[in-house]
Structure 1
Amino acid sequence: MRQVVVYSDPTALSEATAARLLLQIGDALATRGRADIVLTGGTVGIAVLADAAVSGLASAVDWTSVHVWWGDERFVPTGHADRNEGQAQQALLHTLPLPEDNIHRMGSSDDFATAEEAAAAYAATIDAQGTPAWDVLLLGLGPDAHVASLFPGHPVFRDSDSETHAVHNSPKPPPSRVTLGLPSINRAREVWVVAAGEGKADAVADSLRRNGVPGGAVDGTERTLWLLDAPAATKI
């Protein structure tokens, strides 16, 4: 079942989502002894991580039992400003007592010759970790209703069988990326789609109406949360 929660503005949205995330991590640790969290980039996604970094709730988490993953990544060199993992490192991860082995980064273009090799390596890492059912999988939403690097009309979005994908000719730069596929995303216990701004309102509406867009194709096995600010919710 999809649940929609609307906040007044982007600040309230990111602060509330950060608190939700930290509490959900704590619940997963208490229930299963391990938490697997999939992060997203983008303005709101990184704001959530920055808010988590300064939250008092962060100190209550046993970070040695938390594993961090990414929903997608830009296939550019390590240290490039476009890398989601670098932005996450700066916003949150560097502040945490998180073991390096628990941070599962998607490969960069100086680690692998092709995005296909990077995608295959990430799938192998997921398999080696027991193919986790992600406790929370965070997704941003593009104005075209893309999630992760699954774009409307792109052949990769139509491939519903693969754990990971290489993406080429992305309509949004950079053109080459690595992304989780729908089977991996929809294995998550909870999928949270976070969107802010009037420019996302049409994409939110199309996704919630399941109008054939990537945002409409993602669901958690236990819960799907759409976390919005008021402008993004104007057309639902």
Structure 2
Amino acid sequence: MGVQINAETAEPQVEIFADRPAVTHTIAARLLAVLKEAVDTQGIAHVSLTGGGAGIATLEAMAELVRKGAEAPDWASVHFWWGDERLLPAGDEDRNETQARAALLDFLVAEQGLPAENICAMPTSEEAAHPEAGAQIYARQLETHAPEHGIAGPHGKLMMPRFDVMLLGVGPDGHVNSLFPGKDSLNVTGQATTGESDAPAALGPPLRVTLTFDAVHTARRVWTGVTGADKAEAAAAALTPGADVAQYPAANARGSEETIWHLDKPAAANLS
């Protein structure tokens, strides 16, 4: 398919931890610190969340740290977004939004001053009849928080906020967000969102909305949380120089300033 790694992005750093809790607690602590710094210096922070076991466990770890009194940002100035979502009814337990609300966001709204409108969820199936419609809806939502003249993407200007951090999981097949091996979505450029109508059956509901690689590459920091032996092959392949993005999309999961892979020992087992 000719998908190329964006050479202008930050080379991946690899950090290996003992187990999933070590991975998720490290990311959670780092995220709190980065969001606080962003709010203190910029007056606002934007973060893109991910689902999956490690992604939701990271949000649970954040809630735990905040409850224990960890230094945190002014939540009124933090906006939460998503890298992808299943096009399902509101409140469906398979939606990343539903899981994130239970893990962290409802607590922040109820007890920490996060405005409900700062939770920028992707559309539900009630709001969008098909993935491309959902992608268009989310693109318009991103645009309302874009700088006046947008931000520079690798294939032209994108009307979206610049994420201070984008959190990503990596699937056993090497996908990130809903950018799956061999799919046309890998080649979408010049726009922040796209739809996916045929996600692999083994990974749940097929209808998805996702951010594109162009959107991923505008994030200042891209952090993956990769845990479990079932991710070892994909992690090793994606981190191999010259990796085939069409086969292992995670190879192209890179931020504009920083890219960090956080792996537990089982996920790192195949790294050289």
Bin the TM-score by the shorter chain.
over 0.9
Shift of 1:128: 1.2
Matches for 1:85-124 after TM superposition, within 5 Å? 85-96=97-108, 97-124=113-140
Specify the alignment match of 2:79 in structure 1.
Answer: 67
SS at match of 1:175: coil
2:166 match: 137
Farther off after superposition, 56-65 or 199-208 = 56-65
Query: TM-score of the superposition, structure 1-length normalised?
Result: 0.97
Q: Is the 8 A contact 2:235 2:268 kept in 1?
A: yes
Which one-letter code corresponds to 2:127 in the other structure?
A: D
Matches within 5 A, 1:1-236: 1-55=11-65, 56=68, 60-96=72-108, 97-130=113-146, 131-171=160-200, 172-209=203-240, 210-212=243-245, 213-236=248-271
Which whole-Å CA distance do the structure 2 matches of 1:57 and 1:129 have between them?
30
- Whether the 8 Å CA contact 2:33–2:71 is kept in 1: the answer is no
CA contact (8 A) 1:139 1:193 kept: yes
Instruction: Output the aligned Cα RMSD.
Output: 1.2
Contact 1:22–1:57 (Cα < 8 Å) also in 2: no
Please give the TM-score of this superposition, normalised by the length of structure 2: 0.84
Instruction: Return the index of the structure with the highest Cα Rg.
Output: 2
Whether the 8 Å CA contact 2:38–2:164 is kept in 1: the answer is yes
Gaps of 5+ in 2: 1-10, 147-159
Q: Percent identity?
A: 43
8 Å Cα contact 1:189/1:223 also seen in 2: yes
Provide the C-alpha distance between the structure 1 equivalents of 2:69 and 2:212, rounded to a whole number of angstroms. 31
Opposite residue 225 of structure 1, the aligned amino acid is I
Q: After the TM superposition, which parts of structure 1 deviate over 6 Å for at least 4 consecutive aligned residues? A: none
Structure 1 residue 160 displacement after superposition: 3.0
**Deviation of residue 68 (structure 1)?**
0.3
- Partners of 1:7 and 1:30 lie apart in 2 by 30
Segments of 5+ residues of structure 1 without an aligned counterpart are none
For 1:9 and 1:183, how far apart are their aligned partners in 2? 31
Secondary structure at the residue paired with 1:11?
A: helix
CA distance in 1, matches of 2:33, 2:71: 11
Equivalent position SS for 1:153: coil
Cα deviation 1:79-105 (Å, max 9, x = unaligned):
111100010000000111211121110
CA distance in 1, matches of 2:84, 2:70: 24
Query: Is the 1:25–1:35 Cα contact (8 Å) retained in structure 2?
Result: yes
- One-letter amino acid of the structure 2 residue matched with residue 181 of structure 1: T
- With over 3 angstroms needed to count, the CA separation of the structure-2 counterparts of 1:117 and 1:57, relative to structure 1, is farther
Alignment-mate amino acid for residue 108 of structure 1: T
The alpha-carbon deviation at position 59 of structure 1 amounts to: 5.5
| Residues 218-227 or 203-212, more deviating | 203-212
C-alpha distance in structure 1 between counterparts of 2:195 and 2:72, whole Å: 37
